[in-house]
Amino acid sequence: MEKVTLKLGGITCPSCLQKIEGAMHQISGVQDAKVLFNASKLKATIDPSQTSAQALADAVTKLGYTVASSKTQEV
Amino acid sequence: MFIQQHKYQLMVAGGIATLLGLAAHQWLAGPIGAILLIIGTVLAGAPIALNAWAALRVKVISIELLVTIAVVGALIIGEYNEGAIVTFLFLFGDWLESKSLAKTRSAIQDLATALPSTVKKLTAAGSLVDTPVDDLAVGDTIQLATGTTAPVDGHVLGGTGLVDESRITGEPEERRKVAGDDVYSGSTVTNGSLQLQVKQVGDDTVYGQIIDLVEEAQDAQSPVASFIQRFAKWYTPLVLVIALIVGLVTRDARLAITILVLGCPGALVIGAPVTNVVGIGTGAKQGLLLKGGDVASTLNQIDTMVFDKTGTLTAGRTSVQSVQWFVNEDARQKWLGRIAAIEQQSAHPLGQALITYAQDHDAEIPTVKEELQVIPGQGVTAGTIAVGNAKLMAAQNVTMPSLGASTASLVYIANGTQLIARFAITDPIRPQAKEAIAALRQQGVHQLIMLSGDTPEAAARIGAEIGLDEARGGLLPADKTAYIKALQAKGRKVAFVGDGINDSPSLAQADVGIAMGSGTDVAMDAADVILMNNNLPTLNRLLTLARKMTANVTENITIAVGTVALLLLGLIIGLVTMGSGMLVHEVSILLVIANALRLRHISSRKAKNLTPVNFSQAQMADNHHESN
């Protein structure tokens, strides 16, 4: 398991959260995804054999949001 | 998404078109005014409509959707000026909100940006190289010069320096750190220079954990907030339905679209969360970490506070309270040294107090090993010298003069049968303990109890001295949990103040678990509140913050509900139009944000702000250090 933290740019509406979280759960290998509205961060637990932080970042970008930085940590 | 990225430029363009349109409408005949107004509506309305669509795709009926329908309706029935004004005001309000919301997040932002991005690392070759903090690994050695903030947790290997830990503990006092001490990320060297061995990096550091915890807490929904969130989820579609019904029944399209605009739940949705964000951020800056907005409201109801042990209320460190000497003044210094030398070999807890006392009095401690004989329950002997309690003195046939009784622990020193000195050793009560306890009573905590593992006598003594209602001794952790349960069964709202190490069950059992003074164990799951310093007045500050946060939420909900009521009233008597309704709405949103921001000014005892990290200065100080 890996813990992925993406710092996002430009989350202004609470409905963005649902959009992003929904998209994350559609990626196989994502165990748990949570968007922190006030901190503009996405925190997810992933199975590194199935997906990667980059795949998550790509999905976020596709929705029209920017990813400022990305961090991965073994759990 | 060009339109989304430029929505504020579109807002300005739309605003200008609207203004020109309104002027043309007033003074020029013909369709020019109407055309300008339509242009204004489309310019400012495009980003709103797009947002509404995006939300709709994830099955969310958003405020933007209400506004979009209202504006389209306004265009259809020819209310061009109303439509243009509403779209402009909506975007303008959105812009002001984002600006002021950024301010509500400033506390955590300050925390997050306080750490430097590079640090001087000692290489294998022995030179100092600027290294990105992200590249540091556990075990590396780094050098912190005056003015530098530690980006990692570490262990001091060498050097000495005054360190400001106020970002972590909220306490302004600086601490001197020497080899063997721990330095936490986020603390700043204000004077001197330290060499650290890296112990934790990144999110594992104390500071990283604090930021993590605060971020999670700010997003954690309090029951009030989550109720409103759920309410808003149904409320927005409900407004849509009501507007539709009203429109169909009255056949008044104008009334129907006005209801759509007035129905926006803006201030209500934002009221509670915005208070929590500001309150939790403000607390974090003072070393009070709340795990969510609901903790504040529970804290506000606390009527009973239970302290987990004497160490919470006392210094937790025994020290010599008084000494009675029975030898000449010039011989005392030498005796202090010998006593300390003996105690350095024994591991008795009272011994440390004697060693510290000797050091404080500059006694020379001989390094020669003494032949020690430990007599359990009595003390130690070294040759003819005996150090221990009255029982030991009796066993050694020491001639005892009649001495006054004392509640402190007594240690006697004898040489042969001659008494040398009597030391009274206690664990002193923390400074300000009495005042803090009295202040807690004034803050509504009527019952103050100490549950201690100490002897019942020691517990009772401290309880009486500080002014507690009850002080029980000889308790095990499980007894404490049971005691809290019993209090709760009587209807009490209990806060438990513990050090968080072995009292997790009690922390979890209490209505609010407050972990105090363990200082750096931020990842405490059982606690609802973590106090980064162990000064007792911090508890008073915590209650003040909780009270202000709770009041603030109530105020914000009052503002929001009051606004809706006013607008409804205005609608009924025909005073409110779409445009003015939107204006009132936006004003109410800004009002609740401004109200929440007042929490930033809760008085903190923080005497001064940290000087910003200054690398040029750090460089200079470093060179200076090396030339020494």
The pLDDT tens digits for B459-503 are 888 888 888 999 998 888 788 889 999 999 999 999 999 875 667
pLDDT digits (tens, 9 = 90+) for B144-201: 988 889 999 999 998 888 998 887 777 777 888 888 888 988 889 988 889 999 998 8
Which DSSP letter does residue B599 get?
G
pLDDT winner (highest mean) among B80-94, B361-375, B481-495: B481-495
- Cβ within 8 Å of residue B626, ≥6 positions away: none
Tracing tokens 């995804």 back to the chain, one arrives at A33
Residue A62 C-alpha, separation from nearest chain B C-alpha, in angstroms: 11
What's the angle, vertex CA A25, arms to CA B223 and CA A42, rounded to 5?
65
Minimal CA–CA distance to B182: which of B520, B501, B515? Answer: B520
Distance between CA atoms of residues B328 and B507, nearest Å: 53
pLDDT digits (tens, 9 = 90+) for B607-627: 333 333 333 333 333 333 333
Q: What are phi and psi of A11, to 5 degrees?
A: -95, 110
Sheet with B372-375, side-by-side order of all strands: B319-325, B418-426, B409-415, B385-388, B379-382, B372-375
Residues of chain A found within 8 Å of residue B98, distances taken between Cβ atoms: 12
Q: Are B84 and B128 in contact (CB under 8 A)?
A: no
Global ipTM: 0.75
Q: Average pLDDT, stretch B237-243?
A: 87
What 3-state class would DSSP assign to B326? coil
What DSSP assignment string belongs to B279-316? Answer: HHHHHHHTTEEES-HHHHHHHTT--EEEE--HHHHB-S
Range with the poorest average pLDDT among B104-108, B182-186, B430-434, B459-463? B104-108
Range with the poorest average pLDDT among B104-108, B465-469, B536-540, B577-581? B104-108
What 3-state class would DSSP assign to B375? strand
Sheet with B494-498, side-by-side order of all strands: B288-290, B529-531, B512-516, B494-498, B304-307, B447-451, B470-472
Residues of chain A found within 8 Å of residue B62, distances taken between Cβ atoms: 13, 15
Amino acid found at B187: S
- Inter-chain touch B62–A15, beta carbons under 8 Å: yes
Q: How many CB pairs under 8 A join A and B?
A: 43
- B202 part of contact set with chain A, CB < 8 Å: yes
Closest by Cβ to B60, choosing from A15, A38, A73: A15
Identify the H or E element spanning A33: strand A30-36
- Inter-chain touch B98–A19, beta carbons under 8 Å: no
Tracing tokens 């940006």 back to the chain, one arrives at B113
- Core vs surface per residue B246-260: b (16+ CB within 10 A) or e: bbeeeeebbebbbbb
Give the mutation candidate from B61, B101, B216 for the A interface (greatest A CB count, under 10 A): B216
Pairing of strands B304-307, B447-451: parallel
pLDDT recorded at residue B554: 92
Q: Which residues pair with B386 in a beta bridge?
A: B381, B414
Residue B80 C-alpha, separation from nearest chain A C-alpha, in angstroms: 28
What's the angle, vertex CA B310, arms to CA B445 and CA B210, rounded to 5?
70
Which DSSP letter does residue B421 get?
E
Distance between CA atoms of residues B354 and B350, nearest Å: 7
Q: What are phi and psi of A43, to 5 degrees?
A: -115, 125
B252 assigned to active site: no
pLDDT digits (tens, 9 = 90+) for B500-520: 566 778 888 899 999 886 555
What 3-state class would DSSP assign to B572? helix
Q: Are B326 and B421 in contact (CB under 8 A)?
A: yes
pLDDT recorded at residue B266: 67
pLDDT recorded at residue B621: 33
Flag whether pLDDT at B1 surpasses 70.
Answer: no
Which DSSP letter does residue B446 get?
-
Tracing tokens 């004392």 back to the chain, one arrives at B406
Read off the tokens for A24.
Answer: 């994350």
- Inter-chain touch A38–B58, beta carbons under 8 Å: no
Q: Average pLDDT, stretch B419-428?
A: 87
Minimal CA–CA distance to B578: which of B319, B267, B255, B224? Answer: B255
Q: Are B146 and B161 in contact (CB under 8 A)?
A: yes
Helices (H) and strands (E) in chain B, counts: 23, 20
Q: Average pLDDT, stretch B263-272?
A: 73
- Cβ within 8 Å of residue B568, ≥6 positions away: B262
Identify the H or E element spanning B129: strand B128-132
Our CA dihedral for B249, B253, B258, B260, rounded to 10 degrees, sits at 70
Distance between CA atoms of residues A4 and B165, nearest Å: 29
**First-last CA distance in chain A:** 6
Tracing tokens 């506390």 back to the chain, one arrives at B107
Where helices occur in B314-470 by DSSP H, the ranges are: 329-345, 349-360, 390-395, 433-442, 456-466
Q: Are B278 and B102 in contact (CB under 8 A)?
A: no
Residue A28 C-alpha, separation from nearest chain B C-alpha, in angstroms: 19
Q: Which domains does chain B have, with CATH numbers?
A: 1-104 (no CATH), 114-211+610-627 (2.70.150.10), 286-313+430-543 (3.40.50.1000), 319-426 (3.40.1110.10)
- Core vs surface per residue B181-197: b (16+ CB within 10 A) or e: eebbbbbbbeebbbbbb
**Banded model confidence at residue B77, pLDDT cuts 50, 70, 90:** confident
Which DSSP letter does residue B361 get?
T
Pairing of strands B418-426, B182-183: unpaired
Burial of B596 (0-12, 13-18, 19+ CB in 10 A): buried
Q: Which residues pair with A41 in a beta bridge?
A: A7, A36
- CATH number for the region A2-74 comes to 3.30.70.100
- Inter-chain touch A38–B215, beta carbons under 8 Å: yes
Read off the tokens for B8.
Answer: 């504020």
Pairing of strands B494-498, B304-307: parallel
**Banded model confidence at residue B305, pLDDT cuts 50, 70, 90:** very high
Distance between CA atoms of residues B27 and B283, nearest Å: 56
